[in-house]
Amino acid sequence: MSKAILYLEDGVHFFGEALSFVGESAGEVVFNTSLSGYQEILTDPSYAGQIVVMTYPLIGNYGVNDEDSESSKVHVKGFIVKEFCRHHSNFRATKSLIEYLNEQNILAVEGIDTRALTRHLRVKGAMRGLISTKDFDLNSLAQKIKKVPSMEGADWVKEVTTKEKYIWKNSEDKESKQKYIVAAIDCGIKFNILRILTNKDCEVHVFPSNATVEEINKINPDGIFISNGPGDPAAVGHVKETIRAFLGKKPVFGICLGHQITGLALGGKTFKLKFGHHGANHPVKDLLDNRIGITSQNHGFCVDIDSLNKDDVELIDINLNDQTLEGMRHKKFPVLSFQHHPEAAPGPHDAQYLFDYFIEMMKEYKK
């Protein structure tokens, strides 16, 4: 174990101990309040460019397994916990979390008062931070952190999107009837979205985020899906343009970053939340039937409700904690998007039914 420092851009810092991977790593520091699901969180491409702090203090309890990753690698810039578990226990585990983080060369730090850190981020807002195991000079760290790019205006999508188009295959051998062809624009897509859509009889073609409208139209999709992903939605203008091209022409369904970009495509604006929503306990009210679902969330930006033209856009989901927008649809076109994660992973399955809306839209469209 080597000593490590987490230095925040406002000068506040915490000391802890790093696992075997050492060095320096910087990113936006955010906290996640999920009690379980660290494997999903680590591999969620939406965390690219971020250092994640887990508020639950005991992490690694059930190890890591072969089925629960949300992408093929760990995306976080750093991982901060109170205590890593030294002896995991779960019948599906194939290795320990510590082994996994070491394999993936992730700067992972334990022994930090994560509650104090979380409280600080809550009050001051998410901010840049730098983990170092070799430089403990506060002046030097202060200089280094100035050079870390801000999350606002940053295009992280290009770092995580697929290089090549591919068709998703579920590992379970269940035969997909492939009733619908979906073009998924990969801004950092989570595997569980692909699993669910495929289970719902979709043949999902995953496109790089910069795929052109022509390339997408080549497969003659029944619906366009815009995925979740990292960074500032305003920085990925090309995806906004792609969506615009399909508005009114094909059913469009967006999740998280995909929802934000859809908001921009519909003429709205996005803004950065103070410390974002990262957890699995957010109450969302479905304004269509007034039911409340507990949802999984992971976003630092948000569509500004006031910026939307209410003649075109209907608000359909609202966050009950802070009244921010959680879902919207177009009044004339088959366009639907959600800020939260109906695919969960990790988190409750309360909102999984929303995928059916997308299927419905495509069914309608095919008629």
Partner 1 sequence: MPKRTDIKKILLLGSGPIVIGQACEFDYSGTQACKSLREEGYEIVLVNSNPATIMTDPEFADHTYVEPLTPEFVEYIIKKEKPDAILPTLGGQTALNIAMKLCENGVLEKNKVKMLGADYEVIKKAEDRECFKKAVQKIGLDVPRSAFAYNIVEARKAAEQIGFPVIVRASYTLGGTGGGFAYNMEDLEKVAALGIESSMIGEILIEESIIGWKEYELEVMRDHKDNVVIVCSIENLDPMGVHTGDSITVAPAQTLTDREYQNMRDAALAIIREIGVETGGSNVQFAINPLDGRMVVIEMNPRVSRSSALASKATGFPIAKFAAKLAVGYSLDEIQNDITKETPASFEPTIDYCVIKIPRFTFEKFPEAKDILGVQMKSVGETMAIGRTFKEALQKGLRGLEIGHVGLDNKLDYSAISEEKVQHRLEEPNASRIFYIKYALQKGWGVEKVAQVSRIDIWFIAHIKQILDLENTIKESFEKEKNISTSLLRKAKEYGFSDVQLAKLMKSSELEIRKVRKERGVIATFKLVDTCAAEFEAYTPYFYSTYETEDEAVIQIAKTATENGKKKKCIMILGGGPNRIGQGIEFDYCCCHAAFALNELGYDAIMVNSNPETVSTDYDISDRLYFEPLTFEDVMNIIDIEKPDGVIVQFGGQTPLNLAHKLNQAGVPIIGTSVESIDLAENREKFSELINSLGLKQPANGSAYSTAEAVTIAERIGYPVLARPSYVLGGRAMKIVYNQKALLSFIEEAAEVSEGQPILIDKFLNDAIELDVDAIADGKETFVAGVMEHIENAGIHSGDSACSLPPHSISDHLIKQVKDHTCKIAQALKVIGLLNIQYAIKDDEIYVLEVNPRASRTAPYVSKATGNPLAKIAAQVMTGRKLAEYNLSNDHIEKIKHFAVKECVLPFSKFSGVDVVLGPEMKSTGEVMGIADDFGEAFAKSQIAAGASLPKKGKVLISVRDEDKSAVVRIAKKLDAMKFSIVATLGTASLLKKEKIEVEQIQLTPDGKTDLNQILEMIKNDQIDLLINTPSGERSQSHMALMRASANLHNVPIITTLQGADAAVKGIEFMQNKEFKVKSLQEYFQMKNKVKSQDQKVCS
Q: Name the minimum Å distance from CB 133 to partner 1.
A: 17
Site for partner 1 in 241-280 (CB under 8 A): 279-280
The answer to whether residue 95 forms part of the interface with partner 1 (CB under 8 A) is no
187 given a catalytic annotation: no
The answer to whether residue 348 forms part of the interface with partner 1 (CB under 8 A) is yes
Q: Which residue is catalytic, options 187, 256, 277, 278?
A: 256
Strands 127-132 and 24-32: antiparallel
The answer to whether residue 327 forms part of the interface with partner 1 (CB under 8 A) is no
Q: Name the minimum Å distance from CB 15 to partner 1.
A: 9
The answer to whether residue 16 forms part of the interface with partner 1 (CB under 8 A) is no
Determine which residue in the list 27, 37, 229, 251 makes contact with partner 1, applying CB under 8 A. 37
256 given a catalytic annotation: yes
- CB burial class (10 A; 0-12, 13-18, 19+) of residue 289? exposed
The answer to whether residue 11 forms part of the interface with partner 1 (CB under 8 A) is no
Determine which residue in the list 218, 274, 291, 332 makes contact with partner 1, applying CB under 8 A. 291
Query: Of the listed pieces 59-67, 72-80, 143-151, 259-267, which binds partner 1 according to CB under 8 A?
Result: 59-67
The answer to whether residue 86 forms part of the interface with partner 1 (CB under 8 A) is yes
Taking the C-alpha atoms of residue 353 and residue 336, their distance in angstroms, rounded to an integer, is 13
The answer to whether residue 35 forms part of the interface with partner 1 (CB under 8 A) is yes
Determine which residue in the list 122, 177, 218, 249 makes contact with partner 1, applying CB under 8 A. 122
The residues annotated as belonging to the active site are: 256, 341, 343
